[in-house]
Amino acid sequence: MTLISDNLKTKIEDLAIFGGKPLFSEKQHVGRPNLGDRTQFLNRINDMLDLNWLTNRGPFVKEFEQKIADYLGVKHCVSVCNATIALELAIRALELTGEVIIPSFTFIATAHALQWQEITPVFCDIDPITHTIDPDKIESMITPRTTGIIGVHVWGQPCNIEALTTIAKKHNLKLMFDAAHAMGCSYQGKMIGSFGDAEVLSFHATKFLNSFEGGAIVTNNDELAEKLILMENFGFSGLDNVIYIGTNGKMSEVCAAMGLTSLESINEFIEINHQNYQCYQQELKDIKGIKLFTYNQQEQCNYQYIVLEIDEEITNISRDKFVDILTAENIIARRYFYPGCHRMQPYKSYFPHAGLLLPETEKLSNKVMLLPTGVNMNPDKIIKITDLIKFILDNTCSIANKDNK
Ligand SMILES: *Cc1c(COP(=O)(O)O)cnc(C)c1O
């Protein structure tokens, strides 16, 4: 016997968007924090208070940096207060100027970190399969002012690092990666974190691994790491000696304590995400017009993002309509990187025609929809979501008719 829940949808009037009862009584968000062991965290807070050392490279920050570096197999981890500041610092420490090539299909911070210091982000199109910057389109964008490339490992899917490294070498450009999504992911068997001149991680609350707010620059370059440690602390080298222009980018002890606690649960987070991913995959596998982003099974992956591409021509219902219907059901589906950095200010005004060079970015940002996963989700909840998706697809005509009334 199948259990029929009281909010099962049998007719379109049951959809919350048409006045029915929402499928979930509480909002199911993309990016609810993955929380680790509360007791461990609280113990650390007590130790921190006993020690009365709250910031300025205290013991928790040092331990966190060491453990991240060990986990990734990289020489240096410089923790900072968030990944946006980490990007700004790395860009400055690598002495990027003029123009830097980045994808437009990324979180706005990648572009802002450049523009903030009056470096022009030059938007490059993406590969529609991997959703990362398309190496074949980079060389035509290089000008005498170009000083670097920043690839973004979108969804934890590594960029084509090999091709980007070759291009960077050939044109004598710096190569950085925005690895905000890619903690715990690997490329050709090696953990993301030691590629290019530097990679930047985010430990924001909504990311795979969190320290409330936080970020880090990871690199094998000794000189760069040393410079970054100065820059994130006002350029102080010793108590009364400033030797460099700097800012305040320090991670606090409480954030590092959270980061350490999260790191202890990293395998559990991956396992839960992987199970959730497999459940979505199983339930959505026969649905035409909806494609679940696939990860390379040969690599390690954090499975933190459930990314669907909605092909409206096949589904007969737009991505945006899907988002509206799911949101009404308290499934807070998200359009990610929509409409693309090049369509947001100030870039929209600076480069009004950028879209012409970014056909894949434009297409993808109109198709992508993210669904919730993480430790707050489980297969039971996921099947409720996928059953709802199937119900919507079975009723697209009546939904459109009702909308048109
Ligand atoms: C979240 C994110 C950032 C910014 O990270 P913060 O820690 O929130 O500053 C940068 N780039 C990408 C791709 C992101 O997803």
CATH number at residue 376: 3.90.1150.10
- Asked whether residue 314 falls in the same domain as residue 386, the answer is yes
Give the domain-ending residue among 264, 299, 315: 264
Residues of the chain with pLDDT under 50: 1-3
What local confidence, expressed as pLDDT, does residue 2 receive? 46
| Distance (Å, whole) CA 325 – CA 319 | 10
Q: Which residues are 290's β-sheet partners?
A: 310
For residue 38, report the distance from its CA to the centre of ligand 1, in Å: 25
Give the domain-ending residue among 264, 286, 314: 264
Give the domain-ending residue among 215, 249, 264: 264
| Distance (Å, whole) CA 121 – CA 271 | 37
Residue 304 CB coordination number (10 Å)? 26
From 202, 209, 307, the mutation candidate for ligand 1 (largest count of ligand atoms within 8 A of CB) is 202
Q: Which residues are catalytic?
A: 207
For residue 179, report the distance from its CA to the centre of ligand 1, in Å: 9
What local confidence, expressed as pLDDT, does residue 7 receive? 66
From 107, 176, 255, the mutation candidate for ligand 1 (largest count of ligand atoms within 8 A of CB) is 107
- Asked whether residue 237 falls in the same domain as residue 271, the answer is no
CATH number of the domain to which 103 belongs: 3.40.640.10
Phi-psi region of 146 (alpha: psi -120 to 50; beta: other; left: phi over 0): beta
**Is residue 4 a part of any domain in this protein?**
no
What local confidence, expressed as pLDDT, does residue 6 receive? 57
Q: Which atom of ligand 1 is nearest to the CA of 113?
A: 10
Residue for token digits 């988002």? 323
- Asked whether residue 145 falls in the same domain as residue 156, the answer is yes
How far, in Å, are 62, 252, 290, 380, 397 from residue 287 at the CA level?
A: 48, 47, 6, 19, 17
For residue 109, report the distance from its CA to the centre of ligand 1, in Å: 6
**Is residue 7 a part of any domain in this protein?**
no
The enclosing H or E element of 198 equals: strand 198-202
Residues with CB under 6 A from ligand 1: 82-84, 106-107, 109-110, 152, 178, 180-181, 202, 204, 215
pLDDT in tens, 327-386: 999 999 999 999 999 999 999 999 999 999 999 999 999 999 999 999 999 999 999 999
| pTM given for the model | 0.96
- Asked whether residue 212 falls in the same domain as residue 65, the answer is yes
- Asked whether residue 137 falls in the same domain as residue 178, the answer is yes
Is omega for the bond preceding 346 within 30 degrees of 0, making it cis?
A: yes
- Asked whether residue 59 falls in the same domain as residue 198, the answer is yes
| Distance (Å, whole) CA 72 – CA 90 | 18
- Asked whether residue 214 falls in the same domain as residue 344, the answer is no
- Asked whether residue 57 falls in the same domain as residue 17, the answer is no
Strand locations in 46-162 (E): 76-80, 99-103, 120-124, 146-152
From 30, 80, 84, the mutation candidate for ligand 1 (largest count of ligand atoms within 8 A of CB) is 84
The enclosing H or E element of 225 equals: helix 222-231
The domain tally of the chain equals 2
- Note down the domain range covering 320: 12-30+266-404
- Asked whether residue 234 falls in the same domain as residue 106, the answer is yes
Kindly report the protein residue whose alpha carbon is nearest to atom 8 of ligand 1: 204
| Distance (Å, whole) CA 50 – CA 46 | 6
Q: Which atom of ligand 1 is nearest to the CA of 87?
A: 10
